[in-house]
Structure 1
Amino acid sequence: MIITHTDYEGLAAIVMEDECLRAVVIPGWGGKIASLYDLRHDREWLHRNPHLPYRLPAYGDNYVRDFDAGGFDECFPNISAGDYPVTPWQDTPLPDHGEVWSLPWQVSEDDEELHLAVSGVRLPYWLEKTLTLDDGCLRCDYRLANPTSFPMAFVWSSHPTFAVQPGLRLHLPATSVQVEGALGPFPARAGETVAWPVVGGVDRSILPPRDAGTATKLFAMKLDGGRVALEELESGASIAFHFDPELIPNVGLWMNFGGWAGIPDVPNYYNLAIEPCIGAADSVTDAMRNG
């Protein structure tokens, strides 16, 4: 593996590369992984929103309207905007998609790894992320510290949006999912639990046509294993998450197949976010209620 520094769409970035994979990280933009390029199949796996320029955010900026540009972000200590529910920080407002995506992360490196770290703004935490690359596998190790004597409830979600096309297969180790929200002709409503992968007589593990007109947020609450994958059947290209389901017990799915766009007057997006997460809800309050 080699580590180099570069300019990526006008922003300072760090490149990690081996013979199989090239990863581009932007420490100043929440430690965003902007690119995961499969060198074996000549394929970019991460979605790039063509309607949003790359620029550094400020704390509290509007994620959906101005910074949903694609790539792999981190959502912590919440996802949906709202007031924190637990004392002594009760009623503290937290921004959409959390705090850390919009913050510059401290960065250090050596020949073997890239180390990123950030501290909270409105809650007192310290979050670290260490990246290593070996034989096409990008390993992400996390460490979270609470320096206070008070328990701190949180939601954490990885938030990579993938560049996908109809016909890809999603491998999810679950037989049911809970609906967080749905737009378009999806046969279940928020709060319902439905069987997976066949929902409403349709195999949802096969990505639909671009004009499907659906946008659905789902959570896999009970996992049968710790591997989630996307497979391109024709080329054999695939990308997968491997994790310990005892530590990361849930997977969120944002399945947007022409059903939604966060910017007015642009075509609806076609992308997929696969989100190993802790807390099967977008708000801390709902995650606590769900256990």
Structure 2
Amino acid sequence: MVDVCTYQKTKFKGLDAVVLENERVRAVILPEYGGKMVSFFDKVVDYEWLSQTDQSILDIPPKEADFSDYDLSGFDEIFTSLDRSLSDRKDIPAHGEVWTLPWAYNATNDGVALQVHHPELPYTLKKRICLHSDGLKIKYEAVNQSEEPLPFLWTPHALLNAGDSAEIEVPDGMTHMIKVEKEQMGSPGSTHSNSVFTKHTGETNGVETKKRASIERFSFTQPLTEGWCSLVQPHINRKLTYHFSEAKVPYLGVSKIKGRKQKVALVPCTCDSQEVNGKGNTEAISSIPAQDSCTWTFSMNISKL
């Protein structure tokens, strides 16, 4: 089967957008809003995998913006330097700034290529998105233009729609998680079995449901044994699987958002954010050598149950 992908420009909630589409999937990207992907649509079952904003117009955040103060829908790139000494600024947000910056872009023979250069730190982040019959693949390259190693963290922050019967799947051996932030369930640092997520996300699991949206964030306590994780959706008979290299992206977190609609974020990461932020363990940090680059790939694949 030949994957024929079309490329077109359009508008999405007031912003310039790029649409990639083939017979089975469609993706919409906003280059000027941090290269954000705002739609990943399964045409076979007429289903939108990415959460959608209720806003009629999207405002681009300023580069010093707090991630949690702006639109959390869709798929944002979280890339940040962990070495504040490379900049005169010491207030670089924990989620980095590439999600707020405009990305240069151009069409390719199989999709779109985007890149962003940090205005104050010596790095460039590039990504090339291409569709295939069952999803998409993103090829990343982070370039360090400094004379010193560049420690960094990368994670794909994709907020997914989740039906009441949704479950997650993870590789064998991923059995325990640690609570990241205090919301409804447990306290920071408390441990849980992964059954808290393999149960139906629509269940309260013994926790009182509030009218306002609540967030539960967990991180697996051990590195990934294989480079994948999945969101299973029985109500549409479909599964979305992320694929990546466990050698380069060895850690996994999970977030559940309960509100008017259920949402889940599967959060593979290049380093253990709890070790970095909580314990200052520099051995847990990924790093790019001076005047060098680092590459990795990330795929989103749809399959039938």
Judge same fold: TM > 0.5, yes or no.
Answer: yes
* Structure 1 partner of 2:159: 161
Deviations 1:100-126 (A, max 9, x none): 000000101122131110011332111
**Residue 248 of structure 1: CA displacement?**
0.6
Deviations 1:159-216 (A, max 9, x none): 00011221111112221222211311x1x32123433x225xxx64421248744521
Is 1:3–1:111's contact at 8 Å kept on the other side of the alignment?
no
Q: Is residue 191 of structure 1 aligned with residue 185 of structure 2?
A: no
* Structure 1 partner of 2:269: 277
* Structure 1 partner of 2:15: 11
Is 2:15–2:30's contact at 8 Å kept on the other side of the alignment?
yes
Among all aligned residue pairs of Structure 1 and Structure 2, give the percentage whose two residues are the same amino acid. Answer: 25
* Structure 1 partner of 2:281: 289
Unaligned runs of 5+ in 2: 285-305
- Alignment partner of 2:40: what SS? strand
Mapped partners of 1:113, 1:51: distance in 2: 27
Q: Is residue 244 of structure 1 aligned with residue 236 of structure 2?
A: no
Mapped partners of 1:23, 1:105: distance in 2: 17
* Alignment-mate amino acid for residue 50 of structure 1: D
How many residues end up aligned between the 2 structures? 270
**Residue 86 of structure 1: CA displacement?**
5.3
**Residue 232 of structure 1: CA displacement?**
1.2
Is 1:171–1:229's contact at 8 Å kept on the other side of the alignment?
yes
Mapped partners of 1:272, 1:138: distance in 2: 19
Distance 1:205 1:279, change over 3 A: farther
Mapped partners of 2:170, 2:110: distance in 1: 31
- Alignment partner of 1:181: what SS? coil
Q: Given the alignment, which residue of 6, 29, 33 partners 1:29? A: 33
* Structure 2 partner of 1:20: 24
**Residue 75 of structure 1: CA displacement?**
0.9
Unaligned runs of 5+ in 1: 79-83, 259-266
- Within 5 Å, give how 1:8-157 maps onto structure 2: 8-50=12-54, 53-68=57-72, 70-77=73-80, 87-89=85-87, 92-157=90-155
What's the Cα RMSD here? Answer: 2.4
Taking structure 2 as the reference length, the TM-score comes to 0.80
Distance 1:172 1:244, change over 3 A: same
**Residue 58 of structure 1: CA displacement?**
2.3
Deviations 1:49-80 (A, max 9, x none): 32574222221134322333x000011106xx
Taking structure 1 as the reference length, the TM-score comes to 0.84
Mapped partners of 1:53, 1:13: distance in 2: 13
Is 1:94–1:122's contact at 8 Å kept on the other side of the alignment?
no
Deviations 1:130-181 (A, max 9, x none): 1011102200111011111212222211100011221111112221222211
Distance 1:127 1:172, change over 3 A: same
Q: Is residue 178 of structure 1 aligned with residue 178 of structure 2?
A: yes
Is 2:10–2:18's contact at 8 Å kept on the other side of the alignment?
yes
* Alignment-mate amino acid for residue 201 of structure 2: L
- Alignment partner of 1:234: what SS? helix
Is 2:84–2:90's contact at 8 Å kept on the other side of the alignment?
no
Mapped partners of 1:241, 1:91: distance in 2: 34
Mapped partners of 1:91, 1:60: distance in 2: 11
**Residue 224 of structure 1: CA displacement?**
2.3
**Residue 227 of structure 1: CA displacement?**
1.6
Mapped partners of 2:123, 2:223: distance in 1: 28
Is 1:170–1:230's contact at 8 Å kept on the other side of the alignment?
yes
**Residue 218 of structure 1: CA displacement?**
1.3
